[in-house]
Chains A and B, each alone.
Chain A
Amino acid sequence: MPTKGRTAAIAGVYNTKQGRRLEGETTRRLIVEAIRGALDDAGLSLGDVDGITSENTASLIYDLRLGPVWQGSTFGVGMITEAVAAIEFGLANVVVLVAAQAQAYRDHAATAPWTRPENEFVAPWGMFTAAEFALIARRHMEVYGTTREQLSLVAATIRNNGSANPEAVYADRGPFTPDDITASRMIADPFHLLDCATTSEGGCALVVANVELLDPPCRPVHVLGSGADFFGPSYQHPPAWDLMGRRGDHPNGLVGRHAADMAFAHAGIDRDDVDVLELYDPFSFEIIRQLEAFRFCPDGEGGPFVEDGHIAITGSHPVTTDGGTMSFSHAGTNPQMMQRAIRGVQQLRGDAGALQVPNARIALCSNGGAGALFTTVLLLGDEPR
């Protein structure tokens, strides 16, 4: 049996410095730093690596002289699922997952290039990510009565987490009140500037390893379940809440529900077992949507749910505890997605400092959003199940 004696777990994590601009840095230099940092955290060295996933993975394999090596192909928290599968299927023992971005976006007269892909049915209408996600949010507001104040509560909560995180791009910028959110300039109604992710630079890496074979210095964090929901290419079709596939089970507005159901079923745990929710926060409304999609609250009730204080660090469902893409960092297309999982690992290891959720043993991490037509889910635990 190729899977016998193989248990894959996250053995190391590392964030480089994050900043609005990292002067003198390049994407490759950040990638090398992140790989070294994550391997060091795992008590491993480059010579132990026999699997890697990145954005320009082939050139990395050549330049780091890693070959022959297993190469992954997906992105975000899905990279972790893929690496676990590779290890447990016997394709590799030590997989590095790495991404970074520096100097790709310096002309701030326009929104970041990856927020506005070329498409002949989209580009002429001045679309970019804020407008895509606004179309989802506005539909929910008109159908369910979700309020502007509820969006502000989400943004203020996450930005206050970031303010208390010394590693965040916007450390010490708070505290933020809900009124501070709507006092910032309007970007794409209903979103004000402080409802939106920032853009920044930085890198990160994780090491997923066969912990039956290796003995990492830190207690490994286990992948309990995962799921991946896709409805089509991001930013090429109208981002409609009611977009429905032929199985007719879940609309795009609830993208991630099928993924979460799969993840929880595989893990054999309930929603109530989750201690911390490292939700992807490209825009404030997306938190309300994910709480509904993942079944932490009934459909249409995500707004009242966040009003009741559930999502604060001290609440029953603390979300996005490093400040997320709004305040911690939002570098490029991939690092900022992987960082949801890194924060989940930090919480389960007890490494989250002032923002530590007491006794956090199970974390849910997510990527994507209905405005982008996909949502992926990862359930992490401090012990295997």
Chain B
Amino acid sequence: MTTELGQLTAQRAAVPHAAPGPLTAPFWQGCADGQLLFQRCESCATANFPPAEHCRQCLSTALEWERSAGNGIVYSWTVVHRAATPVFETPYAPAIIDMAEGYQILTNVIDTDIAQLRVGLAVTVDFRAVGNELWLPYFRPSP
């Protein structure tokens, strides 16, 4: 299988992934179910991600899982040409996304050409299964 020059794709082989714990397992189950979840504080409405035991703003423990609409814009990006480990196919594009619900998530941007990457690019979550049947929340340019 060949990759079109400059075209960013999801990883195919298994990637490193620490086993989720009780706090984070709902997020990964959500990914497998096609839902991007984050925690909303019932007390002050702050969006919390990655999962926390208490709200990072008001410290309330009343955190409820909420489904994100999956839309955001690229806050910053890079394109890796020398992979962290040989299991990653290059190039890939780590990015920080500003989610519409008011939190940031680290991801890889896919299904676009490297030349299209820029701060402010509108993107939408796209769940892809990689080698070890891990469902990851990639992002691609919004339609």
- Chain A interfacial positions (CB closer than 8 Å to B): 109-111, 115-116, 118-128, 130-131, 134-136, 138-139, 142-143, 185-190, 193, 237-241, 246
- Are A124 and B94 also in contact (CB < 8 A) when A115-B84, A139-B119, A238-B106 are? no
- Chain B interfacial positions (CB closer than 8 Å to A): 11, 15-20, 24, 28, 50, 57, 75-86, 88, 92, 94-96, 104-108, 118-119, 130, 134, 136
Taking the closest CB of chain B, its distance from the CB of A122, in whole angstroms, is 6
Name the residue on A nearest B79 (C-beta): A189
How many A-B pairs fall under 8 Å by CB? 114
**Are A124 and B105 neighbours in the complex by a CB distance under 8 Å?**
no
Residues of A within 8 A of B83 (CB): 110, 126
Residues of B within 8 A of A110 (CB): 83-86
Bound: A239/B136 CA distance, A: 20
Residues of A within 8 A of B108 (CB): 125-126
**Are A131 and B81 neighbours in the complex by a CB distance under 8 Å?**
no
Taking the closest CB of chain A, its distance from the CB of B54, in whole angstroms, is 14
Bound: A131/B93 CA distance, A: 9
- Are A131 and B76 also in contact (CB < 8 A) when A120-B20, A120-B24 are? no
Taking the closest CB of chain A, its distance from the CB of B113, in whole angstroms, is 13
**Are B76 and A240 neighbours in the complex by a CB distance under 8 Å?**
yes
Residues of B within 8 A of A130 (CB): 80, 82
Q: Which of B79, B88, B95 has the most CB of A within 10 A?
A: B79
Q: In terms of DSSP, what is the predominant structure of the interface of chain B? A: loop
Residues of A within 8 A of B75 (CB): 139, 238, 240
Bound: A128/B24 CA distance, A: 22
Residues of B within 8 A of A116 (CB): 84-85
**Are A186 and B77 neighbours in the complex by a CB distance under 8 Å?**
no
Residues of A within 8 A of B19 (CB): 120
- Are A185 and B80 also in contact (CB < 8 A) when A118-B16, A126-B15, A126-B108 are? no
Residues of A within 8 A of B104 (CB): 238, 240
Taking the closest CB of chain A, its distance from the CB of B142, in whole angstroms, is 19
Q: A109-B86, A142-B119 are in contact. List 19 more A-B contacts (CB 8 A).
A: A115-B84, A116-B85, A120-B18, A121-B24, A122-B106, A123-B17, A124-B130, A131-B84, A134-B94, A135-B78, A135-B96, A136-B76, A138-B119, A143-B119, A185-B81, A188-B82, A189-B80, A241-B76, A246-B57
Residues of A within 8 A of B79 (CB): 186, 188-189
Residues of A within 8 A of B17 (CB): 120, 123-124
**Are A138 and B76 neighbours in the complex by a CB distance under 8 Å?**
yes
- Are A131 and B134 also in contact (CB < 8 A) when A116-B85, A240-B104 are? no
Residues of B within 8 A of A239 (CB): 96
Bound: A190/B119 CA distance, A: 14
Partner of A124 from the list B15, B77, B95 (CB cut-off 8 Å) is: B15
